[in-house]
Structure 1
Amino acid sequence: MSAVTVIQNNFNGGELSPLMGARTDQVRYGNGCTKLHNMLVLPHGPALRRPGFQFIGKCRENTSRVRLIPFSFNVDQTYILEFGNKYIRVWKDGGLVVNKTGTPIEIGTPWTSEMLDFLSICQSADVLFIASSFTLPHKLCRGGHALWYIEQMVLGSSMKPPINLNAQSKGIASREYSYVVTAIDPFTREESEPSEAITFQGPETISVASTVTLTWQSEQADAVYAIYKCWNESGKYGFVGHASSKKWVDRGATPDFSEGYPVSRKLFQRVDEYPSAVQFYQQRLCFAATRSQPQTIWMSRSGSYTNFNISDPLRDDDGIAATLAAERVNKIEWMVPGRQLIVGTAGSEWSLSGGDNKAVTPSSIKFERQSTIGAAPVPPLVVGESILFLQQGGKVIREFLYSLQKDGYMGTELSILSEHLLKGNPVVSWAYQQEPYSVVWCVLSDGSLAAFTYEREHDVVGWHRHVTEGKFESVCCIKGSEGDELWCVVTRNVNGAAYRYVERLAPYSMDGIEEQFFVDSGVSYRGEKTATFSGLDHLEGKSIQILADGFVIPPQVVSEGRIILPYAASVVHAGLQYSSELIPTEQDVMLKSGSSRGRTRRVNRMCLHLYESSGVQVGVGNVEPLPVLLGDGAVLDATPALFSGETVVEVNGGYEMQSNVLFRQEEPLPFTLLSYSMQVEIGER
């Protein structure tokens, strides 16, 4: 019989696959857990109970799918867009955005609930560009806090071409000439399509004595005009001059045929020509993947997002159309801008650039295949220098990162050590919460959340699983006053009916035990002391947990949208209960006689190092977890205090082949485990 002390002071390996159960040689095994439910791991190493989800409001419809989209003009002006069945509603600061009459803003859309998962979205300032293979591209525009509208994109130059072009000439008419005029924005330099050509008989040689005077009309104020001239049978027009007014005199200018006027290009005219992906790259708006051309990318003129026109001959800032040359016709699923435009297709990943560190132009464009993994249609996440994307099927997460050794991108798998979480359960929606702890949240097809703490510079990839009384449907993140806010749509069953709620993860950092928020779909009250707590209509008939002024109140059933507290309180949080559980990996102990594997063991004493915790339970073997008494005991009528420090627990487990240590938190209180150690008696073989 040998007595040893086992310690684990790092949990950021996360929940590991059962297939890792014997990998004591793997670094993350020693830092991992067998089970980590409704707990997170921090980059520093501790395991932390996740905060609860605050109830924000009900979705407009309960019977059809809803998708949340972030809208961020800057760090201070951020919104959540509720995309539903042919509508959009706008959320901000914990409530719906309303108009002057108090009515929630609602924008009609052409997209049904079945189309929402296939929308591709990118943003520029106050405009959201939306692509879908079901409709023409659209723009969602914010004209003010309560002024939102959607419109179908009109492709082409925003500058209107001049009209009523007229020509008068001096001299004997003996030669045919043709002219067109375009309007140019003096600030953006965007050029209109040409006016209707005027053809007439002029002098054999245009000179100072024998001139041609052009006049025209224009809707554009303060425009600059470009004049193009044709004097041969080829029909080619060449640039001959600029005008700042609606008049120009030709005194014998020679056309520059290397600079032609813009040529209109008609795109996306039929249903099978609607693009399904949209993104920005090098000041160009890029569309990709129509049904008829699934591997083609169309790029706008530089700086003119709706203008895909070209010139004859081509200019460097003209619109671009480029098609991947690959062995198989795999549809482009998404595009991500960076030093190159990264393109994910159903069968491989590519980079698009101008080559040799050049800008992309019609004559300088280069595709390079980076990997042959194959991407799922879910939009990727950009985390620092990394691109996280889902492998085809949605059950494997890859990290796409530039490698100096390869001089290209590599797709490292991030989910392999915790593959059981996604096995047969693909990701349908995900979001990255950068602050405070760098967590990627993934909604799975079964309605649960799988998340992982991700800090590449510290080599932290720790997975954890989160469940609630209901099913998660969509997640997204925006900047908030206390870090990034995770918003989600949750379907909950109340009195036999399913309801879709918009909920938000509570902040991680809260002062005092009375402000701890560890209930789901919960609401809070702060004000004068009261024994009646209302605002719970969305949980009618549900048994809920309550924290009142820092004290845990026995569960109560909501009736008529309220509960009655046993005493008046000024700070109350109430909502659905959820249980947090942590089972660490079984540590291998090296004895003088060899490994402890295959021997019985008995745990009789544990030391827990906790941080701002209360209400924790611990158990070993098949023993039901027991409450851990923290601190020196409660003081009568005083607000309970959170405990930080070490505490010893006598557990007196039986002899088992494994220790089976279990930590559990079921009360609406925090739990942060920094480390634990246990005295273990190791039996003989």
Structure 2
Amino acid sequence: MTALYPIQDVFTRGEISPRLHARASLDFYRAALAKCENFVTLPHGGIRKRGGSYFVGEVKSSAKKTRAIPFIFSSEQAYCLEFGDLYIRVYAYGARVGTVEVASPYLEADLFDLAYVQSADQMWITHKNYPPKVLTRTAHTTWTLTDFEFLDGPYDDINTTSTTLTPADTGHLTPDMTSNTTPSGTASDGGSSASAWAIFDRDKTQNILISSGGDGYVRFRNAGGAQRVVDAYWVTAANQATRAFDYATAWEIQGSNDGTNWVTLDTRTGEAGWGNGETRFYEFTNANAYEYHQFVFSGGGGDDASNTYLAEIAFHIAASNQTPFDLTASSAVGTNGGAGFQPTDVGRAVRLLGADGLWRWAKITSRTSTTVVKIILYGHALPNTNPVTRWRLGTFVPGKYVEAGSLYEERLAFSRRFSVYASATGDFDNFALGEKDDDALEFIQAGGGQANDIVWIADSDGALLIGTSGGIRALSGSGIDEALTPSSFKNRRSRTFGCARIRPVDAGQSFLYVTRSRKSIAELTQTSTSKFTSDDIGQISEHIPKQGVVELAFQTDPDPMLWFPLENGELGGYTHQPSQEVRGMHRHRFGGSFAGSEWSIVESAVVTPGQNGVDDIWLIVKRTIGGVRATNSG
């Protein structure tokens, strides 16, 4: 009988599982290969031999694990970062960038658990055992790694124990004045009153005449010529403000270092409708220190522009200019499980409810004992030094730091265990909760009803995707095309697989992510607004990802291709163009050998935009060279 040899002219399904070799009746069988090693399947249907790698240089510590992470400012400025044991090195376009090396706190064992999110020249790096860091590029050869400071949050629950926190100071510019010159500094006003000091005496229940007309000033000069930075203040109306509307309605806050030449720090107009004893709070941006500060007002004195009264003015010394002061707990109960303050609490935030009903926040600068720490106070000065009964400690402590991050709708978002924290809109440092649309957000059970850890978060069309060990959820505004706000949100479950703690990749038409077992890769597609579904893209090539996926990197040019190092040292590849039904996996074994393996070990892979319009693929490869163990980046 004449032998028949069917012609196969397409290979878009790549290498199929050995368990499918006898399934010739399947449609994809005629587009697949029994073995596709060191070849890539092309979207056009053919295959091409994989190109060789270019040796860039040896990593710093060949005997230890190394990870590559992309830093992409734009399509024309892209870097590959070499993360090793306690260091970071920088590469770009096939070469190391000078001698740049940044010290880091991350140990070898931490490297593949690091998560990162980037915006322009900044990258936020997170790990549950380390406070978040910010890697900043200020020039091609200038890189720095610093602590990321959360401003005002997030926090643990409000204290419900009997423990109180007593501040030793208030953060006021002025002391509690008892005369125009005591206990220190000098108070004055435009009428040369002997009682100008009373506006700075911490008593909000008064009726202080500060001018017999509708304009004037109240001034304070620091003792000894000291210069201080002020960034906030409050004004309290007199206890009879409504009697004849005898309050100020417009003013400037001014600073001076000679008492003659003044700089305007803040301006307010139309401040009408005051109630008796009402306090209003104001903040402004200022980094300059002054010896004199004054409240210069106009539009006061009611309808006849005579007799302007106030009860209190309080200037806040900027936290950066404060001298830290003691915060004393009445007991260790309620702090760190009853253990009291610990050395690891340095840098932790504290929220304090003042006697005036306003929350302030502070940062711990040092620890004296289990019940005493020193703090600097942000926002506004406290009204007094009375014990504070309602307080909250910052939620981030060693072993419980944020674990993943993403940008979404101009917010910087982080996750930890079951929770998601998102900054105020356009203010990536500010995590203070509020009710306004642009205030920060906090979702304590963002992972859904089950106690599944959040392993990654990612920005997608119309939703913040939340990958958990139980599946993927979509957090978004409550309506179609509605922004996520404190009052408008929904958290939807999708029919998806559980996720591994491996950063997903945006593959253009869909997301690709590693499932919980790390032995398969799934494609996440959007079926409708904030609704998603998943399919296992490697089911017909299940033997390839079954080796254990280490990480994902996606290439768009010249062909859409996913690269994923495997735990057995191979480099997995996947040609991904679902619109053309192109879904083909392939395997790559690099020349050489390492530690008993017949091929070199690919440890890490990233993709960055290249200079010629073709993406650069960076690999960390372990191989034995001349009998010596070496790890190369290429």
| TM tier relative to shorter chain | 0.5 to 0.7
Contact 2:69 2:80 in 1 (8 A): yes
Which amino acid is 1:500 matched to?
T
Cα distance change of structure 1 residues 135 and 241 upon mapping to structure 2, 3 Å threshold: closer
Q: CA deviation at 1:447?
A: 0.9
Q: CA deviation at 1:437?
A: 1.5
Cα distance change of structure 1 residues 225 and 300 upon mapping to structure 2, 3 Å threshold: farther
Task: Within 5 Å, give how 1:417-456 maps onto structure 2.
Answer: 417-423=540-546, 425-456=547-578
Which amino acid is 2:93 matched to?
D
Task: Within 5 Å, give how 1:550-561 maps onto structure 2.
Answer: none
Match of 2:166 in 1: none
Task: Within 5 Å, give how 1:201-240 maps onto structure 2.
Answer: 203-205=240-242, 211=248, 216=253, 224=266, 238=280
Contact 1:169 1:211 in 2 (8 A): no
Match of 1:397 in 2: 521
Cα distance change of structure 1 residues 248 and 344 upon mapping to structure 2, 3 Å threshold: farther
Match of 1:62 in 2: 62
Match of 1:270 in 2: 397
Structure 2 length normalisation: TM-score?
A: 0.67
Cα distance change of structure 1 residues 490 and 163 upon mapping to structure 2, 3 Å threshold: same
Instruction: Say whether 1:8 aligns with 2:8.
Output: yes
List per-residue Cα deviations over 1:149-186 (Å, max 9, x = no partner).
111012228xxx997488969999997279xxxxxxxx
Q: CA deviation at 1:261?
A: 8.7
List per-residue Cα deviations over 1:468-509 (Å, max 9, x = no partner).
121000000001123001001001112332111001xxxxxx
Which amino acid is 1:155 matched to?
F
Q: CA deviation at 1:323?
A: 2.2
Match of 2:419 in 1: 296
Question: 3-state DSSP class of the match of 2:542?
Answer: helix
Contact 2:549 2:565 in 1 (8 A): yes
Which amino acid is 2:498 matched to?
G
- Counterpart Cα distance in 1 of 2:111 and 2:255: 42
Task: Within 5 Å, give how 1:322-337 maps onto structure 2.
Answer: 322-324=443-445, 326-337=448-459
Q: CA deviation at 1:241?
A: 11
Instruction: Say whether 1:369 aligns with 2:500.
Output: no
Question: 3-state DSSP class of the match of 1:4?
Answer: coil
- Counterpart Cα distance in 2 of 1:242 and 1:94: 47
Contact 1:477 1:486 in 2 (8 A): yes
List per-residue Cα deviations over 1:410-459 (Å, max 9, x = no partner).
11110100001122x11012211111111111100111111111101101
Contact 1:237 1:261 in 2 (8 A): no
Indicate the structure (1 or 2) with the bigger Cα radius of gyration: 1
Cα distance change of structure 1 residues 175 and 146 upon mapping to structure 2, 3 Å threshold: closer
- Counterpart Cα distance in 1 of 2:430 and 2:618: 35
List per-residue Cα deviations over 1:94-135 (Å, max 9, x = no partner).
11111xxxxx11111111111111111111110011111111
Match of 1:409 in 2: 532
Instruction: Say whether 1:147 aligns with 2:269.
Output: no
Match of 1:497 in 2: 628
Cα distance change of structure 1 residues 210 and 196 upon mapping to structure 2, 3 Å threshold: closer
Task: Within 5 Å, give how 1:226-625 maps onto structure 2.
Answer: 238=280, 247-249=296-298, 251=300, 264=361, 267-289=394-416, 294-311=417-434, 314-324=435-445, 326-338=448-460, 339-357=462-480, 358-404=482-528, 408-423=531-546, 425-468=547-590, 469=592, 470-482=600-612, 483-503=614-634
More strand by share: 1
Instruction: Say whether 1:134 aligns with 2:264.
Output: no
Match of 1:80 in 2: 80
Task: Within 5 Å, give how 1:165-176 maps onto structure 2.
Answer: 176=205
Question: 3-state DSSP class of the match of 1:337?
Answer: strand
List per-residue Cα deviations over 1:375-399 (Å, max 9, x = no partner).
0000001011301011101111110
- Counterpart Cα distance in 2 of 1:35 and 1:262: 65
Cα distance change of structure 1 residues 47 and 175 upon mapping to structure 2, 3 Å threshold: closer
- Counterpart Cα distance in 2 of 1:177 and 1:29: 89
Which amino acid is 1:380 matched to?
P
Which amino acid is 1:121 matched to?
Y
Cα distance change of structure 1 residues 134 and 229 upon mapping to structure 2, 3 Å threshold: farther
Moved over 3 A (4+): 161-175, 192-219, 221-233, 235-254, 260-269
Contact 1:381 1:387 in 2 (8 A): yes
Match of 1:18 in 2: 18
Indicate the percent of aligned positions where both proteins have the same amino acid.
28
Q: CA deviation at 1:309?
A: 1.8
- Counterpart Cα distance in 2 of 1:25 and 1:218: 85
Contact 2:544 2:572 in 1 (8 A): yes
- Counterpart Cα distance in 2 of 1:334 and 1:322: 15
Cα distance change of structure 1 residues 35 and 282 upon mapping to structure 2, 3 Å threshold: same
Q: CA deviation at 1:21?
A: 1.3
Match of 2:319 in 1: none
Task: Structure 2 unaligned segments of length 5 or more: list them.
Answer: 153-169, 175-186, 208-228, 257-262, 287-293, 303-309, 311-356, 362-391, 593-599
Instruction: Say whether 1:90 aligns with 2:220.
Output: no
Contact 1:226 1:241 in 2 (8 A): no
Structure 1 length normalisation: TM-score?
A: 0.62
Which amino acid is 1:319 matched to?
A
Question: 3-state DSSP class of the match of 2:485?
Answer: coil
Cα distance change of structure 1 residues 218 and 462 upon mapping to structure 2, 3 Å threshold: farther
Question: 3-state DSSP class of the match of 2:205?
Answer: strand
Q: CA deviation at 1:353?
A: 0.6
Which amino acid is 2:441 matched to?
I
Which amino acid is 2:232 matched to?
S
- Counterpart Cα distance in 2 of 1:309 and 1:169: 39
- Counterpart Cα distance in 2 of 1:461 and 1:353: 30
Task: Within 5 Å, give how 1:191-206 maps onto structure 2.
Answer: 195=232, 197=234, 203-205=240-242
- Counterpart Cα distance in 2 of 1:252 and 1:131: 56
- Counterpart Cα distance in 2 of 1:239 and 1:195: 8
Q: CA deviation at 1:246?
A: 6.6
Q: CA deviation at 1:210?
A: 5.2
Q: For structure 1, which segment, 317-326 or 11-20, has the greater mean C-alpha deviation from structure 2 after superposition? A: 317-326
2:102 to 107, 115, 118: 107
Q: CA deviation at 1:139?
A: 0.6
Contact 1:212 1:249 in 2 (8 A): yes
Q: CA deviation at 1:88?
A: 0.6
Match of 1:28 in 2: 28
Which amino acid is 1:498 matched to?
R
Match of 2:155 in 1: none
Which amino acid is 2:406 matched to?
Q
- Counterpart Cα distance in 2 of 1:299 and 1:243: 23
Task: Structure 1 unaligned segments of length 5 or more: list them.
Answer: 99-103, 179-191, 255-259, 504-685
Match of 1:615 in 2: none
- Counterpart Cα distance in 2 of 1:497 and 1:229: 80
- Counterpart Cα distance in 1 of 2:395 and 2:489: 22
Q: CA deviation at 1:336?
A: 1.1
- Counterpart Cα distance in 2 of 1:442 and 1:23: 27
Which amino acid is 1:429 matched to?
E
- Counterpart Cα distance in 2 of 1:229 and 1:83: 58
Q: CA deviation at 1:198?
A: 6.2
Which amino acid is 2:443 matched to?
A
Q: CA deviation at 1:62?
A: 1.1
Match of 1:674 in 2: none
Contact 1:13 1:33 in 2 (8 A): yes
Q: CA deviation at 1:4?
A: 3.0
Contact 1:206 1:212 in 2 (8 A): no
Question: 3-state DSSP class of the match of 2:28?
Answer: helix
- Counterpart Cα distance in 2 of 1:223 and 1:149: 32
